[in-house]
Structure 1
Amino acid sequence: METGFPPVRLDFASASSSATGQPPAVVDRLVDVLVEDSGCAIPASVRSLFQVHNPRVAWQTPDSAFTSDTQLGTEAVWAHVQDIERRANKCFRRHMDEHAWCDVVQLVLQLALKIAGGSDPNFTLEINNIQSQALNSTFLPQIRKHGGGGLRYVDKRTEFAIGVDTESGLHADADPEQLFLSPMTDAYTATLPLVCGLEVKRLDGSEEEAQLQLMVWQSAMLAHLDYLRKIGGSHNLPLPPVVAWTVTNYSWRFYVAWKQLDGAVHVMRPFAQSTAASSAGTENTASIFILLKLWTRLISWFETDYYPAYQALLRQAVQAQKAIDPLEH
């Protein structure tokens, strides 16, 4: 998709050594927050349970992997983690399909939202299955047709989107009949601010196909944010980066995308293989706790960085529309 419109470039380098230039500071800060101490994720309060549950792995786990953080250290969280591990191992052993792996993903997301939720009553996230939902072609990237013809839309779908529940708390007042609130066409998710996408594949699923699907989704998300910025005439407002995950059996891989000054979309997988964050997944207790730690930090970033940036773009767009046609509002 590098020759498309807009160009969409994929980079597997770490944030500090991007192949196509230094990422924006906001991306560096996000990656630093996620990676910092990511390997120190298993609550010390459940260490004895860990030793009973899986003594071989517990014996091989260094002291540095344990944390005094109590957020993840309840017996209820431990029970959920064991359930996730059992379900994921069953999916792997029995070669179960994407629907079964989607159930595992749902369990992880539900637990992460439960752990991280509750700090701000005005900010509640929800999980949406968008497998059957199309992206609005207004925001889709385009590529050249075979044979040198014109452009065609690249229309790919993904499994899940995390959105902000606008029925709880205070949010920017916008009429979805007047403004697209997301790049989706579905009657509900078109009215929902989205913060993250996930594409799920089974054991033998193609990671490359999952990457392509997410590249399309992230490109559409950035195009939608740019649409709000242009309507609001607020070219000084920066677009926040858009994050997403691919899930291929046990492995969870994190991607962050941003719009460059030349209009190109850059998608990067920032976790170097040497970092603990790259081992996040559902294979065992340790990898699940690392995954949950990443998610709790990411949810905090949605609340403190991404959603305020989205709200600022939306408010500017709403004000611009009111100025053009005040009788409609």
Structure 2
Amino acid sequence: MAKVFKKTSGNGTIALYLGKRDFVDCVDSVEVVDGVVKVDPAGLNGKKVFVYLACAFRYGSDDLDVIGLSFRRDIWIKRVQVYPVPATKAPSTPLQESLLKKVGDQGCPFTFQMPLNLPCSVSLQPGSGDSGKACGVDFEVKAYIADEADNPDEVIEKKNTCRLIIRKIQFAPANNKAGPKAEISKQFMMTDKPVNVEISLEKEIYYHGDPISVNVKINNETTKTVKKIKVSVEQLTSVVLYSSDTYSKEVCAQEFGETVGANSTFEKSFQVVPLLADNKDKRGLAVDGRLKDEDTNLASTTLGQGERELQGILVSYKVKVTVTVSGGGMLGGLTGR
């Protein structure tokens, strides 16, 4: 085991151990969250020890919570008792066996299986004047000392808790499927024939930092000249909680001075590379969840399977090609996701 992540409660009675903090969503399955809590029974005073894994949407900073309102909504939460050890418990995983060797006899293992309909860890990029934690979806593993697992009337002191933030990250399996294709045709005033544009992507999946090759075909049947081609990538972010709101932000745009004369055809592949480094000042842009001050990327596309209904923040991207025709204004936006 290369690294162990540990957090100890303020009173030193319990300590939370994880072997990793990134857990992969492979669309049809999610990695198990497994760890160990070290418990010193002498400090419990007859209480029990529980662990929960929570997926929550944060839509306000903690410093705004001044009138008793919560700016955090739990999307999913699961609680388990680890001490006293339940009569029936699952076999330890290989990771837990390694942690138990480190922790000793006071180690109590726990395991969580996340459902398939949870979103991945996503943050909305704050503005320059924003403070506190960013809005977004996060996952938290928390161990705590209490009489009951979930009693709203029981006050759990902060010194009796310890927690670690983890990330659920999207994995996109490679495939050989052809990329999407889109076509548009527009006829202008004073012309009886149209300009036809077709765009296509060479593949369906691109990874962070990959150049996106956009193939553009133009059949100009008019007497006008195509004087400019713009290729852009837009991020579509849907916040799905009480209702569904979708926001669009341009994350990459490049203009090419290609011309297509009257009654002629054109075909060329253009490359664009959307990067977070070029969008640091865009407030509300969705980025992959980060741990402390680690670098991150533009948020990964949310991949779904079948009929699973997702909540939280869902992300997708579309490629847009805009062709400008002399004397005729914009041909229009041609999009392919």
Larger Rg: 2
- TM-score interval (norm. to shorter): under 0.3
Between Structure 1 and Structure 2, the one with more strand by share is: 2
Between Structure 1 and Structure 2, the one with more helix by share is: 1
Q: TM-score, normalised by structure 2?
A: 0.25
